[in-house]
Amino acid sequence: MGNPYKPFEKQLGYRFRRRRHLEQALTHPSFRHETPDVEADNQRLEFLGDAVLNLVTAAWLYEHRPDDEEGRLTQIRSRVTSTEALGEIGSDIGVGGYLRLGRGELIAGGARRTGTLADAFEAVLGAAFVDGGLKAVQKIFKRLIVPRIEKLRLNYASDNPKGILQELCQRRWGQTPHYRKIAEQGPPHARIFVCEALAGERSLGIGEGPNRKLAEMRAAAEAVHRLERGE
């Protein structure tokens, strides 16, 4: 008998040694309630997966973000492990197509519901931990979540780039960044400001915008991105 989960395991980057663990992770409570011979659903695995995911995420951030303080690490971890983020991953890898759902849940669109997909993905992580230990979870994490951390990181930088740049500059050089206007161009009704972010005389980034405030924010965002890339 073939393995119906083979394409899904390929998406995960992990092959289960005991298929029953994955099958349980993909069994929604509604299916168990409607199917007398099914004794377990994915809720306990979801609980385990949530805890393991938080541990693996925290350990990865601690190792790969040595310059970040606790508050920023916590915020990144919260975004990485949010229902929205996990539901998106679940959708991308096709969890919904493998979920065993009760008839009512299926009709109600449970296979596409963000919360359901997020819960199932956490359950899959829990099942991977039971099946192959922490290394199994880390394989899935590296394949599916690490690439998204950089994207989330860049989005975070755009939330408050001037504040983040100030933290980085004070930590690295003991200086507060400052900004200067280096150009103002265009007709009066459509002015474009160009500003530069600096630490002392060190140029960190340049940005432009329809007003000085926005130009400075974009210069700060560019500076944050460059510093985080090691430039």
**Tens-digit pLDDT profile for the chain (231 aa)?**
578 999 999 999 999 999 999 999 999 999 898 888 888 999 999 999 999 999 999 999 999 888 777 877 887 888 889 898 999 999 999 999 999 998 888 888 888 899 999 999 999 999 999 999 999 999 999 999 998 887 665 555 556 788 888 888 888 898 999 999 999 998 888 889 999 999 999 999 999 999 999 999 999 988 988 887 776
Of 52, 74, 50, the C-alpha closest to 62 is: 74
Dihedral of the alpha carbons of 86, 92, 93, 99, in degrees to the nearest 10: 70
Position 165: which residue type?
L
**What CATH number was assigned to the domain covering residues 161-228?**
3.30.160.20
Q: Could you tell me what percentage of the chain is helix, strand and coil, using 3-state DSSP and rounding each to the nearest 5?
A: 65, 10, 25
Catalytic entry in 50, 119, 216, 222: 50
Amino acid at 189: H
Question: How do the domains of the chain map onto residue ranges?
Answer: 6-157, 161-228
Alpha-carbon span 96 to 230, nearest angstrom: 40
Q: Please tell me the class of the 6-157 domain.
A: mainly alpha
Calpha distance 149→179 (Å, rounded): 29
Identical fold between 6-157 and 161-228: no
Quick one: pLDDT at residue 160?
A: 76
Q: Give the model confidence (pLDDT) of 157-182 as tens digits.
A: 556 788 888 888 888 898 999 999 99
Annotated catalytic residue 41? no
pLDDT in tens, 12-30: 999 999 999 999 999 999 9
Catalytic residue among 41, 46, 119, 122: 122
